[in-house]
Amino acid sequence: MIYLDNAATTPVNSRVAQVIYESMQNCFANPSALYNIGADSETAMNKARAFVAGCIGAKPGEMYFTSCASESNNIAIYGLALARKNWGKRIVTTGYEHPAVQHPFEFLGELGFETIFVNPDKSGIVSEEEILAAVDSKTCLVSLIHVNNETGAKLDIERLSAAIKRKNPRTAVHIDAVQSFMKYPIDVKKLNIESLSFSGHKINGPKGIGGLYLKSGTNIKPVFLGGGQEKGLRAGTENIHYIQGIAKACEILKPNISRNLRHYRQLKKHLLEGLAQFDNVVINSPQDAAPYTVNISFTGYRSETLLHFLDSVGICVSSGSACSKGSQSHTLTRMKLPQEQIDSALRISFGVQNTEEDVDSLIRALKAAKEKLQKVKK
Active site residues: 323
**DSSP per position, 243-273:** HHHHHHHHHHHGGGHHHHHHHHHHHHHHHHH
User: Distances from the Cα of 217 to the Cαs of 194, 214, 290, in angstroms?
Assistant: 9, 9, 32
Compute how many other C-beta atoms are within 10 angstroms of the C-beta atom of residue 28.
12
198 beta partners: 211
User: Distances from the Cα of 347 to the Cαs of 43, 125, 169, in angstroms?
Assistant: 41, 17, 38
Number of H helices, E strands in the chain: 13, 12
Compute how many other C-beta atoms are within 10 angstroms of the C-beta atom of residue 339.
10
94 beta partners: 118
| Helix (H) or strand (E) run with residue 38 in it | helix 36-54
**DSSP per position, 305-339:** HHHHHHHHTTEE-BSS-GGGTTPPPHHHHHTT--H
Half-sphere exposure of residue 371: CA atoms within 13 angstroms, side-chain side: 6
CA dist 75 and 142 (Å) reads 14
C-alpha closest to that of 105 among 144, 160, 158 = 144
C-alpha closest to that of 360 among 273, 281, 278, 262 = 273
Residue type, 304: E
User: Distances from the Cα of 265 to the Cαs of 135, 153, 201, 323, in angstroms?
Assistant: 35, 14, 22, 26
